[in-house]
Amino acid sequence: MRTPVRLTALALLAALAAGCGKKTPDSGAPTPETPAAKTDKDRLQGVWAVEAFEFADPDRKPRDKDADCRLQFEGDRLVIRIDPWEEFSFTLDESKEPKALLLTQLDRTTGKPYRHVTKRTGQADEVGPELKEEWIYKLDGDKLVVALVRNGRGQRPTALKTQMEPFEVMVIRLTRSAEAPAVIPPPRPRATTK
């Protein structure tokens, strides 16, 4: 009687073992072995070094200090590492063509969105809206290209190329840097005058 039980158990084990190497149809859901695809926000994290600035005006040249410019993406913040550093919060709109990088400038003294004082009253200063910019970008591996409107907040470039009219668009070409992210200085208090 033991033989049929052993044969049945062996047959069952053999059937299970035969099925172990087979793959199940892919449901499309990430598994522990296949992590979810990274988003552009994930791929942007880290330090990007400027390779070139392109201006529509052929007489315009980058300043000497611009050669050391870095863009550092950390979480939902972008720090433009040039003297003086500028800090922004950012979101991406990957549904637009070309893709959009939406920036809100942060006040270096508070870390909150920056609002330009439009009128000093001595009591409660009147302030304008948050300072926002919309850049466009193309991310290809370790290469990043951005286009932005110079001195024209609220305008959005339409293509990743320079232009003068109706507003000046500049293009910045960057490459991922191996350098470690810099420590972002904390907001610095405003100097008080007496």
Average pLDDT value for residue range 128-145: 90
Is 12 a residue whose pLDDT tops 60?
no
Average pLDDT value for residue range 85-100: 93
- Give dist(CA 22, CA 15) in Å, integer: 12
At 65, the amino acid letter reads K
Provide the Cα torsion 140, 67, 190, 181; round to 10°: 50
Provide the Cα torsion 120, 121, 125, 130; round to 10°: -50
For residue 119, with 0-12 CB atoms within 10 Å meaning exposed, 13-18 middle and 19 or more buried, which class applies?
exposed
Top-level CATH class of 40-176? Answer: mainly beta
Q: Give the model's pLDDT for residue 16.
A: 35
Q: Give the model's pLDDT for residue 62.
A: 77
Judge contact between 164 and 149, C-beta under 8 A.
Answer: no
Mean per-residue pLDDT of the chain: 77
Nearest C-alpha neighbor of 49 from the set 184, 180, 161:
180
Q: What are phi and psi of 82, to 5 degrees?
A: -150, 155
- Strand boundaries in the chain, DSSP class E: 46-54, 70-74, 77-81, 86-93, 99-105, 115-119, 126-130, 132-140, 143-149, 169-176
Largest CA distance in the chain: 103
- Give dist(CA 114, CA 140) in Å, integer: 31
Is 118 a residue whose pLDDT tops 50?
yes
Q: Where are the domains of the chain?
A: 40-176
Q: What percent of the chain has pLDDT over 70?
A: 66
Nearest C-alpha neighbor of 73 from the set 96, 40, 97, 95:
40
pTM comes to 0.70
Average pLDDT value for residue range 3-31: 43
Cite the DSSP H helix spans in the chain.
2-20, 40-44
Among 8-17, 38-47, 77-86, 180-189, which stretch is predicted with the lowest mean pLDDT? Answer: 8-17
Task: Tell me which of 114 and 70 has the higher pLDDT.
Answer: 70
Is 15 a residue whose pLDDT tops 80?
no
Is 117 a residue whose pLDDT tops 90?
no
Q: Quote the DSSP letter at residue 188.
A: P
Q: Give the model's pLDDT for residue 110.
A: 80
Task: Tell me which of 156 and 63 has the higher pLDDT.
Answer: 156
